[in-house]
Structure formats: structure tokens, C-alpha cells
Amino acid sequence: MILGDENEVLIFTFARLGRDSVDDENEVLIFTFARLGRDSVDDENEVLIFTFARLGRARPMIILAVETSCDDTCITILKSKINGDNFEILSNIVSPQVKIHAKYGGVFPSLAKREHQKNLPIVLRKALRVAKNPKIDVIAVTVGPGLEPCLWAGINFAKELAEKMNLPIIPVNHIEAHILVNLIDRDSTSLKLKNFPAICLVVSGGHTQLILMKGIGKYRILGETRDDAAGECFDKVARVLGLGYPGGPVVASEAAKYNIQNTEYKIHLPRPMISTKDYDFSFSGLKTAVLYLVKNLKSEKKLTKKKVQEICFESQQSIIDVLIKKTMKAAKDYKAKTIILGGGVTANEELKRQLKQKIEKEIPRTKYLVPGTEYCTDNAVMAAITALSHLIVKTKNWKKIIANANLRIDELRP
Ligand code: KG4
Ligand code: ZN
């Protein structure tokens, strides 16, 4: 048995208060704060976790999370310590399919699905072995957004496990997971995030969104890409230049070799939508500009190693300029107390460095959260953390869980 529902929290608290009703919900909070020996809590989850512990459910909760939204087969086993907001990652296995998709220059969904189906039992065995076979309390699974066949591979696997182990499933939104992985406080492996509103920039192979976050579970999409995602643009630039897949890391490393002081710096690529008043993005024009540029250079036999580096440098800078401009605009417009990055593209060192510099210069009081490098690209820790943050969401009929390739973060719950 894991958690009950919110009513249990209230009933327990009423009993402690020696009554059978309370005047309002604040009383519950005040009572719990007092018990916690503090005058505030980080977020509502703390109240729940504390109360469940008092209910005698003090056994640490073990979450098994499955993530297969794109081309990485990921399983994590995470142990939450009920007496606080700490947790421990018992195992975190990522099985990438890069080699298989490299020849297509992108992810081939039906092939990825087959690979997930093949890999999941192997990854599970490894995750359980590394975690020393703990007793699992709840399963979390990414249900969207992502590639639909891939999502189904994970969901069906999670359902089979749930059936076998008689466990509930918590559905996870992948975009929210890219944001909430920032809850990991790297020093103490605890969940910390207090300063709202936050502006979240989620940039991955499939998504580019600016999200206003007012708390855990409270999101509004401010803007998003109208065509290609930023990661997709990195991937396409790499493909045009014959640099392989995924494009982000290789474009970044070629760009780093280019010396900006070089007087031959001539290429200038567009910064699509950089000056529009909205928070939307567009990257397909940039991709097309690179395509024509490379075609011309090839026909003139001028596509030298140096030129490739220069194109990588300028493409990366174009993407960074647009992302930073719109993120800063949103942060200023909404008086953000925190800026949060998430998604594969946030592995880009230049993006992180340049945004940090800009924040320090223009809005120095704004906190800046970026995931550790291992948590930028897809992994199942992010799904486990998201499930942990939403433990109150009990999926009564998990058999009805379906994949939703276009799931939006501002839809109520997955
Ligand atoms: O979040 P993610 O692992 O998967 C999706 O949900 O899409 O993101 C993958 C994307 C790919 O497009 C990849 O090229 C990009 O993240 N990426 C990077 C870097 N590392 C990965 N883009 C720019 N710079 C990087 N260092
Ligand atoms: Zn992702």
C-alpha cells in the first residue's frame, strides 16, 4: 500500500487536532508546520510526505520509472525518504539507440519502438540488479509528449509490470519531467524549488517551449516553435554537413574549434523571429539557409574543414541568440524569480554560459537552474522525480492510461 488520498491527510490531521472538522485548509498547514518545527514548508508535497509518515507508512517509497519517449530506453529506481524531501537514486540505466538511428540522420519511430521492446526487459534486469532488488511501491511511466510508438512501448511494459506486481502507475508528462529534474539539489539529493514564478525554457529534439511555472503542476505555455525544434535544427545542420547524429554535440564541438577572432569570419545566418513581440520560435528557415549555403560552397568546392567549423559556430550562435532573447524577454515580462532550463539542447555549454552571463548582467537577482549534464538528455530519473512530486495523484484506473504524442504541459494531468 502506498499513499491514500488527500482526504486521509485531512482526517489524520483532524484527529490530531482533536476535532472532526477544521475551519479551513490553512489550519492543516499550520498544524503540520508546527510539527515539522518550522514556520514554512518548501511545497505542499512536504505536508503530504510528513503526514503519511505520521500515518505509520514510514517505509521509504520506491519508485520504478520507465522513459521511452524518443530513442533512449531508460529505467530508474528511486527511493524517497518519507521523513523529508530527500531521495536516493538506486539505479539509473540509459540504453541509447544512437548507432541504430545514425544512418538515418534522425530517429526512425517504428525501429525505435522495436528496440525499446527488445531493450526494456534487459534494462529492467540491470536496474533491479544495480538497485539490489528492492520492493517496488509504484511505477511511473512517460505517457507523452513524444513519439507515439515509443511511448506505447514504455506504457505497455509498465502495465505488464503493474499487473504482475499489483502496483499503481503514475503517468508522467515528459516536458514537465525535463523541468522538474531541476528539483534535484546536486549537493544533497533533495527536492528544492521555491522561487516562483519561474520561466522554463525546454529545448529538445522534439520541443522548444517557453513555459510560465507558478508552482509544481501549475504551468502555462507562453510560446513554442512554429516548425522545427531547436534540437532538430542542430540535428539537421549536422546532417547537411555530414557530421552524423545526434547533431547537437558534434555541432557544438566543431563550433568550439572555430576561432571567432578569425578575420575571415564572413558567414551570417538568420536569427528567425528574434524581434517578434511573442514568445514563439521558428528554426526551419535557419535550417534551409544552411542547406543552401552548403550546396553553394560544395559546388564551388569551398567547403573546407574551417568552413564547416564556421557554419557550426554561426548556426549554434543563431539558435543561442534567439533562445536567450526570448527567454530574457519572458523573464522580464513576468518578473521571474527563477529561470529553469531543460531538455537535450541544454547540454550545450555555450547556451548555458551565455544565458548565465546575460542573467548576471541584466537580472542578477533571478535564480538560474540548469540540469546536471547527465540529466539534460532523456533519462528516467526525471520521470521518477516528477512522479515523486505528484504522489497525491493516484491513478485509480491505470489500465486506461494511453500514450498522447501531443500531450501539453498545461493540460491538467497526463
Ligand atoms: O531531450 P532529448 O534527449 O530528447 C528529446 O526529448 O528530444 O534531446 C535530444 C536533442 C537532440 O536533438 C540533440 O541533438 C540535442 O538534444 N543535443 C544538443 C546537445 N546535446 C544534445 N544540442 C546542442 N548542444 C548539445 N551539446
Ligand atoms: Zn526529452
pLDDT in tens, 278-287: 999 999 999 9
Q: What is the DSSP string of 74-143?
A: EEEEEEE-TTSSBEEEEEEEEEE-HHHHHTTTS--HHHHHHHHHHHHHHHHHHHHHHTT-PPP-EEEEEE
Per-residue model confidence as pLDDT tens digits over 40-59: 544 455 555 555 554 444 44
Give the list of residues 6+ apart from residue 223 with CB closer than 8 angstroms, or none.
209, 210, 278, 279, 280, 281, 326, 330
* Ligand nearest to the Cα of 206, by number: 1
> 70: Cβ below 6 Å to ligand 1?
yes
Is residue 87 scored above 60 in pLDDT? yes
Which residue lies with its CA nearest to atom 19 of ligand 1?
248
Cα of 218 to ligand 2 centre, how many Å?
20
Mutate to test the pocket of ligand 1, among 142, 204, 253, 283 (most ligand atoms within 8 A of CB): 204
pLDDT at 57: 45
> 371: Cβ below 6 Å to ligand 1?
no
Cα of 345 to ligand 1 centre, how many Å?
4
Whether 61-186+377-400 and 198-371 share one fold: the answer is yes
> 347: Cβ below 6 Å to ligand 1?
yes
> 145: Cβ below 6 Å to ligand 1?
no
Cα of 235 to ligand 1 centre, how many Å?
8
> 208: Cβ below 6 Å to ligand 1?
no
Confidence of residue 32 (pLDDT cuts 50, 70, 90): low
pLDDT at 36: 52
* Ligand nearest to the Cα of 205, by number: 1
Cα of 248 to ligand 1 centre, how many Å?
6
Is residue 82 scored above 50 in pLDDT? no
Cα of 104 to ligand 1 centre, how many Å?
16
Looking at the CA of residue 235, tell me the nearest atom of ligand 1. 14
> 205: Cβ below 6 Å to ligand 1?
yes
pLDDT at 179: 95
> What length does the chain have?
414
pLDDT at 393: 43
For 2-29, b where at least 16 C-beta lie within 10 A, e where not — what string? bbbeeeebbebbbeeeeeeeeeeeebbb
Looking at the CA of residue 231, tell me the nearest atom of ligand 1. 12
Which residue lies with its CA nearest to atom 8 of ligand 1?
344
Looking at the CA of residue 146, tell me the nearest atom of ligand 1. 6
**pTM (whole model) above 0.75:** yes
Is residue 95 scored above 80 in pLDDT? yes
For the segment 114-136, the average pLDDT, to the nearest whole number, is 97
pLDDT at 296: 95
pLDDT at 106: 77
Cα of 346 to ligand 1 centre, how many Å?
7
**In the CATH hierarchy, which fold is given to the domain comprising 61-186+377-400?**
Nucleotidyltransferase; domain 5 (3.30.420)
CATH code assigned to 198-371: 3.30.420.40
| Lookup result for grid cell 552571463 | 357
Per-residue model confidence as pLDDT tens digits over 247-259: 999 999 999 998 7
Confidence of residue 200 (pLDDT cuts 50, 70, 90): very high
> 137: Cβ below 6 Å to ligand 1?
no
Give the list of residues 6+ apart from residue 119 with CB closer than 8 angstroms, or none.
73, 95, 97
For strands 138-144 and 169-173, give the pairing. parallel
Which residue lies with its CA nearest to atom 1 of ligand 1?
344
The full set of domain ranges for the chain reads: 6-54, 61-186+377-400, 198-371
> In whole angstroms, what is the distance from residue 164 CA to residue 168 CA?
11
* Beta-bridge partners for 215: 218
Q: What residues does the ion ligand 2 have nearby, CB within 5 Å?
A: 204, 378
> 345: Cβ below 6 Å to ligand 1?
yes
pLDDT at 266: 80
Cα of 298 to ligand 2 centre, how many Å?
34
> 204: Cβ below 6 Å to ligand 1?
yes
Percent over 90 (pLDDT), the chain: 62
Mutate to test the pocket of ligand 1, among 104, 148, 180, 345 (most ligand atoms within 8 A of CB): 345
More confident residue, 74 or 26: 74
- The rounded mean pLDDT for the chain is 85
| Lookup result for grid cell 531538455 | 343
pLDDT at 69: 97
> 378: Cβ below 6 Å to ligand 1?
yes
